[in-house]
Amino acid sequence: MKKTKLKIKESPLFWPAKMKSGVLHVLDETQIPRKIHYIKVRSAKDCVKVIHDMKTRAFGQFLVVLNAFLLELIKVKPIKKSDFKAKEKLLAKIQSIAQMLNKSRPTFPFSEVTEIIVRWAVMAIDSGLDVKQFVRKNTQGYLESVRYKRLDRVQRIADLIEDGDCILTHCNVSGELAMAAHLCKKNKKDIHFFATETRPYFQGAKLTCWELREMGANVTLIADNAIGSLMADRLVNKVIIGSDRSCANGDIANKIGSYQIACVAEAFHIPLYALTQPSDKIRNGKDIPIEIRKADELLRYEGYKIVRGDVDAFYPGFDIVPHELITKPIPISVGQDE
């Protein structure tokens, strides 16, 4: 693959978890835009916690999952080539980390990533290699390749955007959309973004608006309720969303609200582009398990209880956008999904 050299400032959301001297610094996305704070994570168990508590999300989770293994491998003492018992013990440890991570949130295909790590460990044992070094090097290389693939996609998103475009986005497309906006600006494309609030976590209001502005883009915040009105009034001409999971048939799972955006976009023949994941383990959207999150996340806001009494709330975290409603997927690497 061609390594894109991107001469733009990197968005903090593009790579929200960075290893520094054996400690993983995870951007606490729940504090943005009030505070840019990095949580110091030192173990796989802490990694599960930041994922479960939604301190990080989307691509950040992927980074945290991979780095969880690196954090634990740092603690492992060198193993002698002949010490098969120690090697098997390390494999068991890697397997148990994988299992713990897989269970942290249901909608994400964490197992597809953790399986790779486990496979490397098995491979190293079978080939008589240093398990610790082999898994570490491969994981670091894997992360690096993902980095270049994403930078390449930033360029492809920018190419898709035309001068004069008014783009609706939902939730937060970790770094890539904002960096594409920056590229467009450098290329003198005059574009405008509308960002949905994205209740209940306000990722659109808190992350996307902040990130787009940091990258010098024009952005207007709207309520999730306003997408129909916006499209009816022809105030947007493109929709670009991310995806949390992709299927073999092209269906995607994305933040709750994506499906209704796609429905209304279809009614108005507004093209919808989705940044897709490199996943084909699941046949179609119906088979993706949808995470039902705690009612309290809807009932409370910043500690204040919106609804009095014991009202029920139903909060599916994601919905499925069927492939028929996706005008064109933008896969992580060219060739995939196309």
Count CA atoms closer than 13 A to 195's CA, side-chain side. Answer: 26
Q: Which residues bind its own copies (CB under 8 A)?
A: 33-34, 194, 197-200, 202, 205-206, 209-210, 213, 218-230, 232, 255-264, 267, 290, 295, 298-299, 301-302, 304, 306-309, 311-316, 319-320
Contact present, 55 and 31 (Cβ < 8 Å): no
- At its nearest, how many Å lie between its own copies and the CB of residue 277? 19
- Please identify, using beta-carbon distances, which residue of 114 and 172 lies nearer to its own copies: 172
- At its nearest, how many Å lie between its own copies and the CB of residue 227? 6
Catalytic position from the list 244, 251, 319, 337: 244
- Please identify, using beta-carbon distances, which residue of 1 and 307 lies nearer to its own copies: 307
Nearest Cα to 321, choosing from 268, 238, 247?
247
- Please identify, using beta-carbon distances, which residue of 206 and 238 lies nearer to its own copies: 206
Q: CA 193 to CA 209: how far, in whole Å?
A: 9
- Please identify, using beta-carbon distances, which residue of 196 and 246 lies nearer to its own copies: 196
Q: Which residues contact 261 (CB under 8 A, 6 or more apart)?
A: 168, 170, 196, 227, 239, 241, 272
Q: CA 246 to CA 281: how far, in whole Å?
A: 9
22 alpha carbon, distance to own chain's centre: 23
Strand partners, 168: 194, 239
- Please identify, using beta-carbon distances, which residue of 64 and 274 lies nearer to its own copies: 274
Give the pairing of strands 252-255 and 318-321: antiparallel
- At its nearest, how many Å lie between its own copies and the CB of residue 81? 54
Nearest Cα to 117, choosing from 90, 93, 98, 130?
98
- At its nearest, how many Å lie between its own copies and the CB of residue 143? 30
Annotated catalytic residue 312: no
- At its nearest, how many Å lie between its own copies and the CB of residue 171? 9
- At its nearest, how many Å lie between its own copies and the CB of residue 187? 23
Q: CA 73 to CA 200: how far, in whole Å?
A: 37
Number of other CB atoms surrounding residue 91 within 10 Å: 17
Q: CA 225 to CA 335: how far, in whole Å?
A: 36
Q: Which residues contact 275 (CB under 8 A, 6 or more apart)?
A: 153, 157, 173, 176, 240, 241, 242, 243, 329, 330, 332
227: its two tokens:
């997408």
- At its nearest, how many Å lie between its own copies and the CB of residue 156? 27
- Please identify, using beta-carbon distances, which residue of 18 and 192 lies nearer to its own copies: 192
Q: Which residues contact 49 (CB under 8 A, 6 or more apart)?
A: none
- Please identify, using beta-carbon distances, which residue of 228 and 278 lies nearer to its own copies: 228
What residues act catalytically?
244
